[in-house]
Amino acid sequence: MPNLNLKPKNVLLRPRITEKAAVGADKFNVYVFEVAENATKKSISASVRDAYKVTPEKVNVVTIPSKQVFVRGKKGVKSGGKKAYVYLKKGDKIELI
């Protein structure tokens, strides 16, 4: 069961700024955020509404799996996480930088 007491300011961790995310924001009006593990689509939508004063049309959530890495002769684990694709209306924008 999802945590219903999740505060909107604790849902969005940071914007995910990559080349692919920048192209998506320019062409398709889609913004990518890293979100909390227990975040739901409704809590992400409410958090974006509070933080950026825009209403998302659609939210897609993707779980990033953890990966094993081998660096400088040592094994380790690269932690996974969760990211959200937030779709906005044509005229809306979010200033990330």
Q: What is the 3-state secondary structure (H, E, C) of 35-89?
A: ECCCCCHHHHHHHHHHHHCCCCCEEEEEEECCEEEEECCEEEEECCEEEEEEECC
Name the DSSP letter for residue 95. -
**Predicted local distance difference test score (pLDDT) of residue 9:** 76
Pick the CATH number of 8-87 from 1.20.1260.10, 3.40.630.30, 3.30.70.330, 3.90.1150.10: 3.30.70.330
What value does the mean pLDDT take over residues 56-76? 96
Residue 90 has pLDDT above 70, yes or no: yes
Interval 5-40: pLDDT, tens:
667 778 999 999 999 999 999 999 999 999 999 999
What value does the mean pLDDT take over residues 29-52? 95
What value does the mean pLDDT take over residues 71-77? 95
Domain ranges in the chain? 8-87
